[in-house]
Each structure stands twice: as structure tokens, then as C-alpha cells.
């Protein structure tokens, strides 16, 4: 990732808590993280790079994962 060195410095300066405030486009590059639109942008980038198959999984904790199922299905059906 082109921002790896900056990401490492951010982590070294503030640990995991510092990563929460990293730029939104970094999150989109790292994974299908954030809003459905953010996750779709990540998938668009993967498809543009030639990826044909992607696995999407909700959180394994039922109370968190169950509400995420609709989002996973929305992303899978786009």
C-alpha cells in the first residue's frame, strides 16, 4: 500500500486508537470497511485490479453479525 510508511508511523505514535482516525480512503484500500458505499468502493477497486471472487463475511458474534447480513447480501448482489 502506498501509505504503508505513514500508517506505520501513525500506529507507532498512538497504537490502535490512532488508526481510527486514519484517512477514509486508507480504510477503503485496506478492506470492505465502513458504510455499504465504502465497502462497494473497495470491491470496485478489487474488480478493477482483476479480482473475480471475493468472500464477504459478517461478524461472527450473532448480535453484531445478524444485522450485517443484509449489507453482505446487498454487496454480493451488486
What pLDDT is recorded for position 40?
Answer: 92
Q: What is the pLDDT of residues 3-52, one digit of tens each?
A: 999 999 999 999 999 998 899 889 888 888 888 998 999 999 999 999 99
- The answer to whether residue 59 scores a pLDDT higher than 90 is no
How crowded is residue 42: how many other Cβ atoms within 10 Å of its Cβ? 20
Q: What is the pLDDT of residues 63-76, one digit of tens each?
A: 999 998 999 889 98
Residue spans per domain, the chain:
1-30, 34-78
pTM above 0.85, yes or no: no
What pLDDT is recorded for position 27?
Answer: 86
Contact between residue 40 and residue 47 where contact means Cβ atoms under 8 Å apart: no
Cα atoms in the Cβ-side hemisphere of radius 13 Å centred on 18: 10
Distance CA 44, CA 66 (A): 25
Amino acid at each position: 500500500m502506498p501509505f504503508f510508511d505513514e500508517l506505520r508511523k501513525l500506529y507507532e505514535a498512538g497504537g490502535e486508537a490512532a488508526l481510527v482516525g486514519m484517512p477514509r480512503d486508507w480504510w477503503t484500500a485496506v478492506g470492505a470497511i465502513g458504510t455499504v458505499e465504502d465497502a462497494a468502493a473497495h470491491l470496485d477497486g478489487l474488480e478493477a485490479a482483476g479480482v473475480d471472487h471475493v468472500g464477504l463475511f459478517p461478524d461472527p458474534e450473532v448480535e453484531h453479525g445478524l444485522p450485517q447480513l443484509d449489507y453482505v447480501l446487498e454487496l454480493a448482489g451488486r
